[in-house]
Structure 1
Amino acid sequence: LHQDHVVTLESKPANVEGIGAYTIRDLVKNALRMRPDRIIVGECRSGEALDMLQAMNTGHDGSMTTVHANSTEDVIKRLEVLVLMALDLPIVSIHRQIASAIDIVVQITRLPGGKRKVSQISEIAGYDADRGQLVTRDIYSFRDGEVLHPTGYLPTFIDSLIDKNLLKLEFLYGGDVK
């Protein structure tokens, strides 16, 4: 991605002597020192998930990454494990970090034949302390094996998107909206 104000960093394995490695975790920490507006990591597979959550919680809105999981609920479970690879934290602390850092989960599914489609878009709507779990709400779900359908749920951050001109009501409802 060759754009103004974009810095690309790549991880690197250690050499044959076992030195010189740059992990994704190292890169996320170094990226934070550059005072970026946002950080995009191709895939979190280890403790860098904790660093990403912390970055997302400290003014780096719009940051994103990918995690291999089969559903929104599995993303949460996977993030728990990945964060625990970095630091032994109570699950409640991890859940609160996730609730504060992540607005939306976009699930991509590989269909028979190898084609990929967005199959679910969900909001992380908060943390329910009484139940000890994150609250998720589907915004769009995959039905009929073909198409995403709106569930009727409007995410809590929708007003913010409209106020910033990032989303038009016409897109949600079609036609003229007054």
Structure 2
Amino acid sequence: MNRAIATLLAAFAALAPPALAAAQEYTQGTSYVEPRGGVYATTNPNVNVVGTYGGAAGHYVADGVAIEAEGLGYAVDQTTKTPTPLGMASRQETTNAAGVAAMARWNFVRTPKGTLFVGAGGGGVFSDKELPYNGSKQAGTGQADLGASVALGKNVSLKAAGRYQHLGAFSDNGVNSVGGNIGLKISF
């Protein structure tokens, strides 16, 4: 996965015209908004894939260090199991959820053409059905990011991140997921 992200970032860096690769703002006092979406594989045998969509808003509290609030919608493809007189019946369904999280992000490499960053945070997720089917409708989340951004303009950058995310209990009633998200960061 890291090789794929590095290849994607190298391609964007090579294709970005020099006039568009102006310095990005990662200084104290800068704020940003970022629409983003992602796809994640899971280790839970009852959850196939997790898709996310939404965004974040953040503020740099120190040079290179941001605090952000993230709001995401989730579409979770999962298998539900129901006991029947003949055994267990299973079916595929999509569970919808909404989540909020607070994240801290450190841009440890900052150049005029892009950044490398790490981030971590947590929050909660609230779904219309149990997530996974033997879990609950409300659960805590924890997440960690490793990613990069490429400048598209003075205040606009394309961001890609690999993410580990945990939803719910640390048992077979929870979901561990690994995947990535991509976003368009607009600083002001």
Tell whether the structures are fold-level matches, with TM greater than 0.5.
no
- Give the TM-score category using the shorter length: under 0.3
TM-score (norm 2): 0.24
Structure with higher RCO (Cα < 8 A, 6+ apart): 2
TM-score (norm 1): 0.25
